[in-house]
Amino acid sequence: MNSSSDAMREAALGSEASAPAVMVRTRPFYWALRREFWENRLVFMAPLGVAGLYLVGYLISLTHLPAHLRGLSSSDPEHYRDAVLAPYNVAAGFMMATYILVTVFYCAEALHGERRDRSILFWKSLPVSDLTTVLAKASIPFVVLPLITFAITLVLQLTILMLSSVVLLASGLSVSYLWTRLPVVQMSLLLLYHIVTVHALWPAPVYCWLLLVSGWARRAAFVWAALPVLAISGVEKIVFHTYDFAWLVAYRLIGDSAPSHMPEHTFPTDPMTHIMPAEFLTSPSLWIGLALAAIFLAAAVRLRRSQGPI
């Protein structure tokens, strides 16, 4: 009897050993990030909508493009170059402004919305940590939105270039200037650098402050986030007759050109711009801001652990 039971046990172990091991990968961060896209379609719909509206406006303006360029043919080369670059710079400016607005509203709603609609009870029942959830939400303004903004802007500018070429060729004008003097690759790299440095890394403490307040406020998270700024600025104005704190917050939110050499009154993606990433990355102001952003994020993680539905 013992020999037969031992044989059965060995056979069972042998069959288990021969069965392929199945590894289940839940990838909680990936699904937490997917959740943000499901619940916040504004993240990609707003940039697409702004790009579409700008393209419609540019299509209307194309009717005047040949006459406009003929009128500029006798002007100096620098003025002619600025006129050619203008539509591409305006397109990039609109897209970056959209990025700032979408990021501010997203961060102010990110942790507040799940408490308001009580979906936090469902998400907390899943094996996803608060750290994973908060980092997934923070990746939207710092990773996802910059890439979306860059990609849509690049496609928009290439579409403008193609449409302009078709119209000029149909009018009997040469398109050689557009294709030889318009460095699309260089302008795209400058655009990506500007978005990442000026509109993602530099305003990081403002975005993380909004995330923190959105996890604490019971209602009107954006108002609660702005109140300390208004209060401190009011006291500063009364006592010192200055607005340095309000200027500092605006300077962080709107962004300033990362250290670079470029002609005066030109756009950051101007081909004449010479970037200096080493100077930007060694700036004490940048790292102080990133340290504050990390503190706000850590506080948001701890706050979410104790917060429930509103």
Confidence check: pLDDT of 1 > 60: no
pLDDT in tens, 81-91: 777 888 888 99
Cα separation of 97 and 150, whole Å?
12
Work out the average pLDDT over 134-158. 94
- When pLDDT is averaged across residues 217-229 and rounded to a whole number, the result is 88
Predicted confidence at residue 182, as pLDDT, reads 77
Q: How far is the CA of 299 from the CAs of 63, 116, 222, 226, in angstroms?
A: 55, 20, 18, 18
- pLDDT, mean of residues 233-248: 88
Res 19: pLDDT: 42
- Structure confidence at residue 82 (pLDDT): 75
- 11-20, 99-108, 275-284: range with highest mean pLDDT: 99-108
Average pLDDT across the chain, whole number: 82
Residue 228 contacts residue 274 (beta carbons within 8 Å): no
pLDDT higher than 70, residue 18: no
For residue 224, count CB atoms less than 10 angstroms from its CB and return exposed for 0-12, middle for 13-18, buried for 19 or more: middle
Report residue 210's pLDDT band, with 50, 70 and 90 as the boundaries.
Answer: very high
Mean of pLDDT values over 23-52: 84
Domain regions of the chain by residue span: 39-306
Higher pLDDT, 258 or 253: 253
Confidence band, pLDDT 50/70/90 cuts, at residue 20: very low
Q: Where are the beta strands (DSSP E) in the chain?
A: 260-261, 274-275
DSSP tag of 21: P
Looking at residue 196, what is its pLDDT? 92
Greater confidence, 49 or 166?
Answer: 49
Pair 136, 33: CB distance under 8 Å: yes
User: What was the pLDDT predicted at 152?
Assistant: 95
Are 61 and 163 spatial neighbours (Cβ–Cβ below 8 Å)?
Answer: no
Average pLDDT of the residues in 30-54: 90
Cα-based distances in Å from 128 to 121, 125, 156: 12, 8, 38
Q: Among residues of the chain, what percentage have pLDDT more than 70?
A: 85
Output the pLDDT for position 305. 85
pLDDT band at 264 (very low <50, low <70, confident <90, very high): low
Confidence (pLDDT) at 214: 92
pLDDT for the residue numbered 54: 94
Residue 260 has a pLDDT of: 61
Whether the per-residue pLDDT at 16 is higher than 50: the answer is no
